[in-house]
């Protein structure tokens, strides 16, 4: 059932069932069959009032009150059904309907069979034929069972819709988190490279125009690449790969005056694992360029692990829980991985990450 066509149950449709009980009692009372008539009229009024109150209570903030109205209705209907018979037999069916509306669990499973047996006993005692006895008894039981099933299905549908809504909200929150992480990693790295190359252009502009022009061309290329990556991040399809990130790391560190050694051992990884380790390389290189003041760095990849070290004198902010490290930790934790970062005893800084082996 789609959300556009779903409508929660309404009490008015259930209240209309009362016509079945009113019609039989009304005519037998008007034509003088039921005597004394005042007792029948009083009983009919009470039964109708209690039926309506029981149905309305099911949709009120206090549905437990419906059991009291059901009990009061039984006190009225059963004695009058035994005394008058005929049209009052239909109220046994309405008792079953109210039971299905206001009861759940064991009380429902016990009361409906008991009501069916009681209806059969009363109608049989009053001389109703076997077909009539079975019809009234089965109707009293089945109407309550069907109404209970329908209302339970509506409750399940409502719960499913609420769950879908919560899942949709969680998906939106997760997508916002992904987008913020991607933008932080993408733009943080790219802007750091642009700043470094712009400083190189400023230094070279006077003494080596050709080299300055080359650096400016690099800035343009980096800017264009950043635009492409931002567009891909927005649509969720960014896939640079680990090899691409390593090439960018070499270029960015070289432009910043940092010598770098890259070592890689082990078999190629799955695309998702390479993408995650690529984020680690990007974040580590960004921190070296921004914060470390290092002159050399080393990037080591062994299987599904990567370690980035530098000889800088200043620890990166990630060591104290910066947003870059938090983003990496969250990203790798979703894949069962782990990230650690901190200063080295001999000086410098180390960022390492590992993913579960796929062997």
Among 146, 165, 184, identify where a domain stops.
165
Residues 136 and 273 occupy one common structural domain: no
Residues 153 and 285 occupy one common structural domain: no
Within a domain: residue 289? yes
pLDDT per residue over 88-101, tens digit each? 989 999 999 999 99
Number of H helices, E strands in the chain: 11, 5
Residues 263 and 127 occupy one common structural domain: no
Per-residue tokens: 253: 């560190």
Within a domain: residue 267? yes
- The pLDDT of residue 320 is 43
Of 203, 197, 191, which Cα lies nearest the Cα of 218? 197
Q: What percent of the chain has pLDDT over 70?
A: 85
Total domains, the chain = 2
pLDDT per residue over 261-277, tens digit each? 888 887 778 877 888 88
Could you give the CA distance from residue 124 to residue 127 in angstroms, rounded to a whole number?
5
Residues 17 and 156 occupy one common structural domain: yes
**Cβ-contact 215, 197 below 8 angstroms:** yes
Residues 160 and 23 occupy one common structural domain: yes
Within a domain: residue 134? yes
Within a domain: residue 226? no
**Cβ-contact 204, 215 below 8 angstroms:** yes
Of 278, 284, 329, which Cα lies nearest the Cα of 309? 284
Within a domain: residue 153? yes
Within a domain: residue 216? no
Task: Please name the residue that has the structure tokens 């070289």.
Answer: 254
Residues 159 and 284 occupy one common structural domain: no
Residues 33 and 151 occupy one common structural domain: yes
Q: Are strands 338-343 and 296-302 parallel, antiparallel or unpaired?
A: unpaired
Question: In angstroms, what CA-CA distances link 212 with 201, 209, 216, 252, 254?
Answer: 5, 5, 6, 16, 15
Residues 160 and 36 occupy one common structural domain: yes
Is pLDDT above 60 for 107? yes
Is pLDDT above 70 for 84? yes
236 φψ region: left (φ > 0), alpha (ψ -120 to 50), beta (else): left
- Say which residues have a Cβ less than 8 Å from residue 218's Cβ, sequence separation at least 6: 197, 251, 255
**Secondary structure, 3-state, 89-145:** HHHHHHHHHHHHHHCCHHHHHHHHHHHHHHHHHHHHHCCCCHHHHHHHHHHHHHHHH
pLDDT per residue over 301-342, tens digit each? 888 889 999 988 754 444 444 566 777 788 788 888 888 888
- The pLDDT of residue 231 is 63
Is pLDDT above 90 for 258? no
Could you give the CA distance from residue 257 to residue 295 in angstroms, rounded to a whole number?
7
Residues 28 and 152 occupy one common structural domain: yes
Q: Are strands 338-343 and 349-354 parallel, antiparallel or unpaired?
A: antiparallel
- Which residues on adjacent β-strands are paired with residue 310? 297, 349
Where in the sequence is the domain holding 71, given as residue range(s)? Answer: 11-165
257: phi then psi, degrees, rounded to nearest 5 = 80, 25
Per-residue tokens: 322: 């910066």
**Cβ-contact 144, 100 below 8 angstroms:** yes
pLDDT per residue over 194-207, tens digit each? 878 788 788 887 78
Residues 259 and 158 occupy one common structural domain: no
Among 165, 199, 228, identify where a domain stops.
165
Task: Please name the residue that has the structure tokens 């009120």.
Answer: 60
Within a domain: residue 19? yes
Against a cut of 0.75, is the pTM above it? no
Among 165, 195, 229, identify where a domain stops.
165
Residue 270 DSSP symbol: P
Residues 126 and 256 occupy one common structural domain: no
Within a domain: residue 228? no
**Secondary structure, 3-state, 67-80:** HHHHHHHHHHHHHH
Kindly state the average pLDDT of the residues 346-352. Answer: 87
Q: Is 304 helix (H, G, I), strand (E, B) or coil?
A: coil
Residue 354 DSSP symbol: E
Could you give the CA distance from residue 338 to residue 71 in angstroms, rounded to a whole number?
62
Residues 143 and 253 occupy one common structural domain: no
- Which residues on adjacent β-strands are paired with residue 260? 297
* CATH number of the CATH domain containing 260: 3.30.565.10
């Amino acid at each position: 059932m789609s959300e556009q066509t779903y409508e929660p149950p309404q009490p008015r449709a259930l209240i209309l069932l009362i016509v079945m009980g009113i019609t039989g009692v009304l005519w037998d009372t008007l034509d003088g069959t039921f005597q004394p008539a005042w007792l029948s009229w009083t009983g009919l009024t009470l039964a109708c009032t209690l039926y309506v109150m029981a149905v309305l209570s099911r949709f009120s903030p206090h549905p437990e009150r419906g059991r009291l109205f059901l009990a009061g209705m039984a006190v009225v209907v059963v004695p009058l059904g035994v005394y008058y018979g005929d049209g009052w037999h239909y109220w046994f069916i309405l008792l079953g309907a109210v039971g299905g509306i206001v009861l759940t669990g064991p009380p429902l499973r016990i009361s409906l069979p008991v009501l069916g047996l009681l209806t059969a006993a009363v109608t049989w005692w009053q001389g109703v034929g076997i077909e009539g006895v079975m019809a009234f008894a089965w109707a009293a039981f089945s109407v309550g069972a069907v109404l209970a099933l329908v209302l339970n299905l509506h409750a399940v549908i409502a719960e499913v819709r609420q769950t879908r809504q919560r899942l949709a909200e969680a998906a939106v929150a997760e997508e916002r988190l992904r987008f913020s992480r991607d933008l932080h990693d993408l733009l943080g790295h790219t802007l750091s490279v642009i700043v470094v190359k712009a400083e190189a252009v400023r230094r070279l502009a006077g003494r080596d125009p050709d080299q300055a022009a080359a650096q400016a061309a690099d800035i343009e290329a980096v800017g264009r690449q950043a635009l492409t990556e931002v567009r891909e991040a927005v649509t969720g399809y960014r896939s640079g790969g680990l090899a691409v990130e390593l090439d960018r790391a070499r270029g960015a560190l070289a432009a910043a005056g940092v010598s770098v050694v890259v070592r890689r051992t082990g078999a190629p990884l799955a695309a998702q694992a390479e993408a995650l380790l690529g984020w680690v390389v990007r974040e580590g290189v960004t921190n070296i360029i921004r914060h470390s003041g290092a002159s050399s760095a080393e990037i080591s990849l062994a299987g599904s692990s990567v370690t980035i070290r530098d000889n800088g004198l200043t620890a990166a902010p990630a060591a104290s829980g910066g947003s870059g490290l938090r983003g990496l930790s969250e990203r790798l934790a979703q894949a069962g991985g782990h990230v650690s970062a901190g200063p080295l005893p001999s000086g410098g800084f180390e960022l390492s990450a590992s993913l579960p082996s796929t062997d």
